[in-house]
Structure 1
Amino acid sequence: MTAVPDSVLRELGRTEGGPAILGLLARAHDTRRLVLLRAVLDAAAAAPAHVCPPPLLDRLREDWALLEAAERTDRAAVRTVLFHPLAGPWAQRLLAGLIGTRPAAPGLLDDLAHLTALAAAAAIRAGMPCAVRLRPHGPLASLPTLGAVRSGPGPVELSHADGELTLRPAGAPALTVRTQPDGALTSADPRWLPVLMLPGALPGSRPVPLDDVDPYGAGGDGLPSHGLSAAPVDDQERKAWAESWTGVEPLLRIGGDHRLTEAAVLLRCVVPLDTPPGSGGEGSAHCSGTRREAFGAVLSSRPATPLYFAATLVHELQHTKLSGLADLVPLHREDATPRHFAPWRPDPRPFDGLLHGTYSHLALADYWQRYALHARRVVHRDLAWAEHARCREQVGAVLPVLAGSTALSREGRVLVNEMISLYHRLDDSPPPPGHLARAQAYVSTAKVIWQQRNGSRRL
């Protein structure tokens, strides 16, 4: 663990954070990613032959050697691939499989083969020649951060030299993909599916991939059971995402410069999710989430409007911040038993989930209040006040549980105390009485329903 000054904890407790603080969180995570990748290599070398057979180990070492050669050529290009958020779920899954005792299963074989795809993507970004064989995941053979090719179940032969990529799917004609001056890979062949790059949130900040082709985007962790599933989006849907993104920057700015800084420093990719059933219409009903091991990724169905896109980023990037902070210092000593009431969820939440949810909803309450005070049109003000009042009442319903916990660490106490201060500062500009009354009724009803469903579990 790393010592974090109280000034940093207080700034984060206000759901803020300047470039230096957020950069600290990002760099700490990147260091852990490199350690995790090294652990994968060491675990493969130590695994028994029935878990990682010698031919697979040899392939892994060749891939690692290609990564090292690419890094000597262009370190930044390789780090773009290795620090891609979706390489985190892959590395953790592979490590868990390698330290197990069962023989290599198809899932482990896929995970081992994905290192080839990562190494090839790194070499291509670094401008190095390479020749590898890709193993498809389902209908796609992916090159992380770059794109994917539609293929059959057989391997895809890949060769790269002088900015030109040749892909030969088994039993199908070859296709050519060329590197453009901006680094994008394009092809006239419809089998090539490039990753759409959204412009950086701030001038000079890195572009944000809309990554709909990485096989580790929304798999695992029970996400499909919560309606979070991903699939490649068509050209029309990509255009809709891009158009919505162009309106996000000025809307984030309304929430304060720190909201733009969060997106510029922390957001590393957006994973588009299928819209869950019954969530259509011009409202906030859609699904979104983050994965702790995929630092910097926001998973989301396409929000109905740019305003809800901005609010989704505000919400989800708070989870990224808090996860990054928790990796540096312990925030509490509570166990993972789901026992707490949270008015934004029908099921009991563990203490850590309660802390995360309260933190993200506090940031939303602050964002919607700022937007309401800025809005000129009545319809926009009413929408923002309604969202603000609901989020504020939700936070107020559970803050006493956090404040009264004896399991908070010293750092967690500093953080929560600042959260409480921000919550009370929201009273300086209260919502209109009608919105407040409806929000109070909403939270009260949620509590009654929760008690009926969960009986004597803790409120």
Structure 2
Amino acid sequence: MTPALSDRELRALGRTEGDAHALGLLAHDQDTRRFVLLRALSDAADQAPDTVCPPGLRHRLRSDWALLEAADRADRAAARSVLLHPLVGPWGRSCLSGLGADAPTPQLLTDLDHFGALAAAAAIRARMPFTTRLTVRGGALTLPTLGALRTGPGQVDLTFADGVMTVRNKAETDIVVRPGNGGTRRHDPRWRPVHTLPPLVPGAAPVPLDDLDPYRTAAGGPGHHGLSGAVRLDDRARAGWAESWAGVADRLRAGGGHRLTEAAVLLRCLVPLAPPPGSGRAGGSAAHCSGTRREAFGAVLSSRPGTPGYFAATLVHELQHTKLAALTALVPLHHEGPEARHFAPWRPDPRPFDGLLQGAVSHAALAGYWQRCALAADRTGERDLAWTEHARCHEQVGAVLPVLAGSGGLTREGRVVVNELINLYHRLAESPAPTGHRARARAYVGTARVIWQQRNGSGQL
């Protein structure tokens, strides 16, 4: 059972902060929920009718589960680095949904085939010798956190022994890969390892830049407003990501030491997205999109920010969603309904109360980040850019605080969070942006309000 957050920790989270201990509690609770999800999946497969999960498939799932348990016994930390990979969450949810249906679906068969690849990846990470048979779909076999290999459809035999992985397909030559420390060295052009970015802080794990996992976006597309689709990266694109990433730790630190801490604790993988259509040059605020998925704790989906500063801002923004979603899972913050009826100056469509709260917290964090960047900037251009971003985010938060503060559906914990958010808003105003920046920000939010009313009616302003 996850220990309860103290009021001090809750107030810090309401200020968009949180120390390593508080963030660790949120992460621990999410990890526990992942293990519960996997156990529920196993139970659902055992209890599903034969029409949904035939006996042969059920037997195969039990074998995969046994391999998973053996890997966990061999090296718990290594095996669980696979089980806790963010993109295992969407896969598990999809499995549970399919097993609860009245009849089998093609997606369920694909999902359950992936269980074998998951178990194999855990066993490889644990460096445990084994042999298993896996099914290839879509021309590639993906081993979560490790990589993917291009091979023909059907079944392949995978053997791992003495640190060497051998994949045998009767129609092709064997694929031989020797996993290395912190990644995989390529021994065959058909094998493509998961690329990783260096750790943000010494002693932390590298950050996977996962453009291979089949569950990295929702089925049928990203499933988020304004997000582009997932992409596969070539060597040039990976070099671009690495170039932007190289300065992220310094930019996070400049935005406050807590920003680097939250990224080091919470960020578990990045999922690269294509630039938004018509976005122009990468790196400008309009040339970028990003998002998170509640079921993929620790994953940030993003097109490539062109500068370390915007990359850091993306993490600041999205990791607030990660924190607040994890906090909400641990303790309810409100009892408001799901109706989408509120004005949010960062979106053209009406938002439910929860979305309004999520957006206010993330934009308040951005306002603080950009303010620190502005106050520390040496060059006029950098300072003006930071003040512009700060003023806009600060004005956006102020536009929705009355709705949040006036809610009668807040729980005690939710009231603490909202009160701290209000305190943060006023504290940021003590070091205001120059007058021109504030005036433009007010005009921006005012225009957004008029356009929103024209599109959506009166709603809840």
Match of 1:268 in 2: 268
> Does 287-296 or 216-225 show the bigger shift?
216-225
Deviations 1:413-457 (A, max 9, x none): 000000000000011110011111111111000000000000132
Match of 1:84 in 2: 85
Superposition TM-score, scaled by structure 2 size: 0.97
Q: Does 1:47 align with 2:48?
A: yes
Distance 1:215 1:134 in 2: 15
Match of 2:300 in 1: 298
Task: Kindly indicate whether the alpha-carbon contact (under 8 Å) linking 2:89 and 2:296 is maintained by their aligned counterparts in 1.
Answer: yes
Q: Which residue identity lines up with residue 348 of structure 2 in the other structure?
A: P
Match of 2:454 in 1: 452
The Cα of 1:49 is off from its aligned counterpart by: 0.3
Q: Does 1:218 align with 2:217?
A: yes
Q: Which residue identity lines up with residue 133 of structure 1 in the other structure?
A: R
Within 5 Å, which residues of 2 pair with 1:39-438? 39-102=40-103, 104-169=104-169, 171-180=171-180, 182-220=181-219, 223=222, 226-281=226-281, 282-285=283-286, 286-438=288-440
Match of 1:38 in 2: 39
Q: Kindly, what percent of the aligned residue pairs are identical?
A: 65
Task: Kindly indicate whether the alpha-carbon contact (under 8 Å) linking 2:95 and 2:108 is maintained by their aligned counterparts in 1.
Answer: yes
Change (3 A) 1:354 1:2: farther
Deviations 1:228-278 (A, max 9, x none): 311221111111111211110000000111101111100000001111211
> Does 231-240 or 258-267 show the bigger shift?
231-240
Deviations 1:381-405 (A, max 9, x none): 0000000000001000001100000
Distance 2:297 2:260 in 1: 18
Q: Which residue identity lines up with residue 72 of structure 1 in the other structure?
A: R
Give 5+ residue unaligned stretches, structure 1: none
Aligned residue pair count? 457
Q: Which residue identity lines up with residue 298 of structure 1 in the other structure?
A: V
The Cα of 1:221 is off from its aligned counterpart by: 7.8
Distance 1:169 1:211 in 2: 25
The alignment partner of 1:332 has SS state of coil
Distance 1:156 1:2 in 2: 44
Task: Kindly indicate whether the alpha-carbon contact (under 8 Å) linking 2:395 and 2:445 is maintained by their aligned counterparts in 1.
Answer: yes
Distance 1:275 1:136 in 2: 30
Q: Which residue identity lines up with residue 390 of structure 2 in the other structure?
A: H
The alignment partner of 2:215 has SS state of coil
Q: Which residue identity lines up with residue 56 of structure 2 in the other structure?
A: P
The alignment partner of 2:314 has SS state of helix
Distance 2:73 2:107 in 1: 31
Distance 1:435 1:457 in 2: 29
Task: Kindly indicate whether the alpha-carbon contact (under 8 Å) linking 1:386 and 1:435 is maintained by their aligned counterparts in 2.
Answer: yes
Task: Kindly indicate whether the alpha-carbon contact (under 8 Å) linking 2:163 and 2:179 is maintained by their aligned counterparts in 1.
Answer: yes
Q: Which residue identity lines up with residue 219 of structure 1 in the other structure?
A: A
The Cα of 1:3 is off from its aligned counterpart by: 4.0
Q: Which residue identity lines up with residue 333 of structure 2 in the other structure?
A: L
Q: Which residue identity lines up with residue 185 of structure 1 in the other structure?
A: T
> Does 224-233 or 124-133 show the bigger shift?
224-233
Task: Kindly indicate whether the alpha-carbon contact (under 8 Å) linking 1:137 and 1:215 is maintained by their aligned counterparts in 2.
Answer: no
Distance 1:207 1:221 in 2: 29
The Cα of 1:224 is off from its aligned counterpart by: 5.2
The Cα of 1:330 is off from its aligned counterpart by: 0.5
The alignment partner of 1:437 has SS state of helix
Give 5+ residue unaligned stretches, structure 2: none
Deviations 1:252-306 (A, max 9, x none): 0001111011111000000011112111224112110000010000000111111
Task: Kindly indicate whether the alpha-carbon contact (under 8 Å) linking 1:372 and 1:381 is maintained by their aligned counterparts in 2.
Answer: yes
> Does 399-408 or 282-291 show the bigger shift?
282-291
